[in-house]
A and B are shown apart, each in its own frame.
Chain A
């Protein structure tokens, strides 16, 4: 079993839709959880960062962590064509990050 599992998609939604992106993990030692967005041919950029179980909101983005189920989610409200990108979940312990393979999202105008 891989340490981090992420559905690669692709996921295609109409503009304005609510998007749900998910990852599961097997390593209970992970201490912090992140979501990165990566546009084609660019480096990943951080969207959300959280340590604890529960929800964290930032504008149209909500990160949800459930440590008991080893499950994290990213919700995007009112999705925009500019949100079209690959979304990578990442989980860390000490100084090491382990990434999911990424979900390719397309938001259609």
Chain B
């Protein structure tokens, strides 16, 4: 158990809909990273937050947005969903004080029908 929690574990929804994925980092960690993992693209970095502020963006679509709240949990919002958005979404956390190991949560499996 990495100490990172993600909810829900599974999500099934329809095209055009909007969903919110939630991540709670390890106790004391200030940084949260979001990744998308699909069979053809592998693990793709989406976005990084540190102590409530966006620090870096990766291959994140404009239909996707994220935020980190004062209690350090983070949410990833996916809107106008398409079939191709079906994937595993992981968050990872670090203390944020340096180039550290990222501890991954168990992921949310999203299926868009």
Chain A residues within CB distance 8 Å of chain B = 31-32, 34, 36, 41-46, 49, 88, 92, 94-102
Give the distance to chain A from B31, nearest Cβ to Cβ, in Å.
Answer: 7
Do A99 and B106 form a contact, CB below 8 Å, given A43-B2, A43-B90, A94-B99?
A: no
Interface contact A95-B55, CB-CB below 8 Å? yes
Q: Do A34 and B101 have beta carbons less than 8 Å apart? A: yes
**B86 within 8 Å of A (CB atoms):** no
Which residue in B4, B45, B55, B101 is a CB contact (below 8 Å) of A49?
Answer: B101
In the complex, how many angstroms separate the beta carbon of B45 from the nearest chain A beta carbon? 6
Closest to B101 in A: A46
Please name all residues of chain B whose beta carbon is closer than 8 Å to the beta carbon of A96 when the two chains form the complex.
45, 48, 56, 58
| Interface residues of chain B: helix, strand, loop or mixed (majority) | strand
Chain B 61-97 near chain A by CB (<8 Å), digits 1 or 0: 0000000000000000000000000000010100000
Minimum CB distance partner of B44 in chain A = A99
Is there a chain A Cβ closer than 8 Å to B42's Cβ? yes
Does B106 contact A43, Cβ atoms closer than 8 Å?
Answer: yes
Could you say which interface size class chain B belongs to? 20 to 34
A-B CB pair tally, cutoff 8 Å: 54
Please, could you name 11 A-B residue pairs with CB atoms under 8 Å apart, sorted by A?
A41-B107, A43-B2, A44-B43, A45-B2, A46-B102, A49-B101, A94-B56, A95-B99, A96-B56, A98-B45, A101-B41
Contact of B106 among A32, A42, A98, A101 (CB under 8 A): A42
Q: Considering residues A34, A45, A95, A97, which has the most beta carbons from chain B within 10 angstroms of its beta carbon?
A: A95
B42 touches which of A32, A34, A101 (Cβ 8 Å): A101
Q: How far is the CB of B11 from chain A (nearest CB, A)?
A: 14
B104 interfacial by beta-carbon distance below 8 Å: yes
Q: From A31, A42, A92, A99, give the contact of B43 (CB < 8 A).
A: A99
